[in-house]
Amino acid sequence: MNLGGSPKGPGRAGGLPFDMFDGAYTDAEARRARRLESIYHVGQDRIWDGRAVLSSLVEKHGRPRLGDRETRALGRIFSIIMWGELAAWKISAQLADVLVDLEPKMAAASQVHDEARHFYVMHDYLEALGYRPPPLDFWSRRVVEMTLGTDDVGKKLMGMQLTIETIALTIFQRVREMNVEPVLSELLPYYERDEARHVGLGTQLVPAIVKDMGVRQAIDFVLFELDLLFSTLMGLKAMEPDLLSIGVDPRSILAIGFRKQTELNREMRHEFPWFPEDPPVDRAFHGMCEALFPTEGSGVRVPPARRVAHAMGVVARTRKSVLQTYDRHHAAAP
């Protein structure tokens, strides 16, 4: 597959890639191409009218109303989501431009349309809630700007499809399960369905890109990934007080995210058997989670030295991580 990615590639230079159908797909590539193509077609079949859905939910439940504290907490969390949707809109538009092959380009183009809907519906929801979205905090802004700013298609897909989409999906699931506000609880499944489809562009393309990397490029990719994951966790840390205010323990987000990531890794291994079962980046991520969100819980003070020791134990596999130990029951009743 021709994945484009060069700033001088056909998509960026303004020319058309008239040779785009010249190469032949291997069987595996043809299978992946069909899956990517179906992201577009399924997106078209399941499209929803954002204005109609939101207004029917407001009609059913009334305008979203919460206490001041909950309104501020929910407003701040979903402002981050709203700006994230705008970033996703821009990033998927970049991908739709730069990807050369027909099927991934179609998948990215259908994502652009979805993210535009996600953005305006979230804006309208926050307006109905009576909350004016503030700018993004430093760390969340860093996550989206790193992903927006890179010219490397592999990094962009890993940042957008495999990191930002996954964390958004876990926040949606958890807030919906906690039933914080009825309009939002019924709105979020529409988002979740779309975002789950978007992840597919990453799982179908990223392993193929990683496989073709030289050593230097692979090291650069991993450092970018670690930086992005660290920034994501710091963003979640900044959100922690608001999450706790609406009854969501950030550890439950990490635990659900970890399960989703494990599932994605399994899918990628199914298609690309060489894909590592327990990638070293994941171990490092588990260590970072333990240092920032100790297993002891949000209200417990854990001295920095002990946090570091526990994090190192997690990386060395002598200790289970907060992601592995956070039990689903616990997640259901934080």
Q: Which residues here bind Fe ion, judged by CB under 5 A?
A: 85, 88, 115, 118, 195, 198
268 contacts 207 by C-beta, under 8 angstroms: yes
Residue indicated by tokens 């402002």: 79
Give 190 or 326: the residue with its C-beta nearer to Fe ion: 190
**Which is nearer to Fe ion, 115 or 249 (by Cβ)?**
115
Question: Least distance in Å: CB of 96 to Fe ion?
Answer: 13
Q: How far is the CB of 253 from Fe ion (least distance, A)?
A: 17
Q: Which is nearer to Fe ion, 107 or 284 (CB)?
A: 107
Task: Check: CB of residue 258 under 8 Å from CB of residue 176.
Answer: no
- Closest CB 81 distance from Fe ion, rounded Å: 8
Name the minimum Å distance from CB 77 to Fe ion: 15
Write the CB contacts of 222 (distance below 8 Å, at least 6 apart in sequence).
280, 281
Determine whether 219 is exposed, middle or buried from the number of CB atoms within 10 Å of its CB (0-12, 13-18, 19+): exposed
Alpha carbon distances (Å) from 169 to 21, 85, 98: 35, 12, 25
Residue with Cβ nearer Fe ion (140 or 295): 140
> Among residues 85 and 181, whose Cβ is nearest to Fe ion?
85
Q: What type of residue sits at position 29?
A: E
Q: Which residues of 41-80 are buried (b: 16+ CB within 10 A; e: fewer)?
A: ebbeeeeeebeeebeebbeeeeebebeeebbebbbbbbbb
Q: What is d(CA 218, CA 37) in angstroms, rounded to the nearest whole number?
A: 28
CB of 161 to Fe ion, least distance (A): 8
